[in-house]
Amino acid sequence: MSKKTTENAAPATTNENESCHGRILVVDDDAFILTLLSAWLEDAGHEVRTTENGDDAIALLPQFQPNLVITDLRMEGMDGITLLNEIQQYNAVLPVIMLSGSAQISDAVRAAHQGIFEFLTKPVEPDALFRCVRAALLYAGNTGGSQQTNSFAPEIIHQSTVMANLLKQAQRVAKSRSSVFIGGSTGTGKELLAHAIHRASPRADAVFVGVNCGALSEQLLESELFGHEKGAFTGAVRKHSGLFQAASGGTLFLDEVGDMPPTLQVKLLRVLQEGQVKPVGAVDSVDIDVRIISATHHDLELAVKRGEFREDLFYRLNVIPLYIPALNERREDIPLLINHFLAQQAQQDDLDELPRFAPDALDYMMSMPWPGNVRQLQNVVERCSVLSVSPIIPHSLVKKALRDSENKFQTLQEARDEFDRNYLHRVLRMVGGNMNNAGTVSGCSEKELQTLLQRHRIDPNEFRKASTEDEAASPQEGDGIRLV
Ligand SMILES: Nc1ncnc2c1ncn2[C@@H]1O[C@H](COP(=O)(O)OP(=O)(O)OP(=O)(O)O)[C@@H](O)[C@H]1O
Ligand SMILES: [Mg+2]
CA-nearest residue, atom 26 of ligand 1 = 186
For residue 378, report the distance from its CA to the centre of ligand 1, in Å: 9
**Residue 157 alpha carbon, nearest atom of ligand 1:** 3
Determine if ligand 1 sits within 6 Å of the CB of residue 156: yes
Q: What is the pTM of this model?
A: 0.67
Among residues 122, 117, 102, 119, which one has the least CA distance to residue 37? 122
Which among 166, 255, 374, 410 is the best mutation to test ligand 1's pocket, defined by most ligand atoms within 8 Å of the CB?
Answer: 374
| Confidence at residue 145, expressed as pLDDT on a 0 to 100 scale | 44
| Confidence at residue 196, expressed as pLDDT on a 0 to 100 scale | 96
CA 169 centroid distance within chain: 19
CA distance 289 to 277: 10
Q: Domain ranges in the chain? A: 3-139, 161-323, 328-406, 412-472
Whether 317 and 181 have beta carbons less than 8 Å apart is answered as yes
- Tell me, yes or no, if the two domains 3-139 and 161-323 fold the same way: yes
**Residue 158 alpha carbon, nearest atom of ligand 1:** 1
**CATH code for the domain defined by 161-323:** 3.40.50.300
Determine if ligand 1 sits within 6 Å of the CB of residue 438: no
Which among 375, 380, 417 is the best mutation to test ligand 1's pocket, defined by most ligand atoms within 8 Å of the CB?
Answer: 375
CA distance 241 to 238: 10
| Confidence at residue 144, expressed as pLDDT on a 0 to 100 scale | 42
Determine if ligand 1 sits within 6 Å of the CB of residue 339: no
Task: Look up the CATH superfamily of 3-139.
Answer: Response regulator (3.40.50.2300)
Determine if ligand 1 sits within 6 Å of the CB of residue 186: yes
| Confidence at residue 347, expressed as pLDDT on a 0 to 100 scale | 85
Predicted confidence pLDDT, tens digits, the chain (484 residues): 333 333 333 333 333 433 578 899 999 999 999 999 999 999 999 999 999 999 999 999 888 889 999 999 888 889 888 998 888 777 767 889 999 876 556 666 665 656 778 888 888 899 989 988 988 887 776 444 445 555 789 899 998 889 999 999 999 999 999 999 999 999 999 999 999 999 999 999 999 999 999 888 888 899 999 999 888 777 777 888 899 999 999 999 999 999 999 999 999 999 999 999 999 888 999 999 999 999 999 999 999 999 999 999 999 999 999 999 999 999 989 988 998 999 898 888 887 777 888 888 888 998 899 999 999 999 999 989 988 877 888 899 999 899 888 766 566 676 777 778 878 887 887 788 889 888 888 888 888 899 888 888 888 887 775 444 333 332 232 222 111 1
| Confidence at residue 465, expressed as pLDDT on a 0 to 100 scale | 52
CA-nearest residue, atom 29 of ligand 1 = 375
Determine if ligand 1 sits within 6 Å of the CB of residue 24: no
| Confidence at residue 462, expressed as pLDDT on a 0 to 100 scale | 77
**CATH code for the domain defined by 328-406:** 1.10.8.60
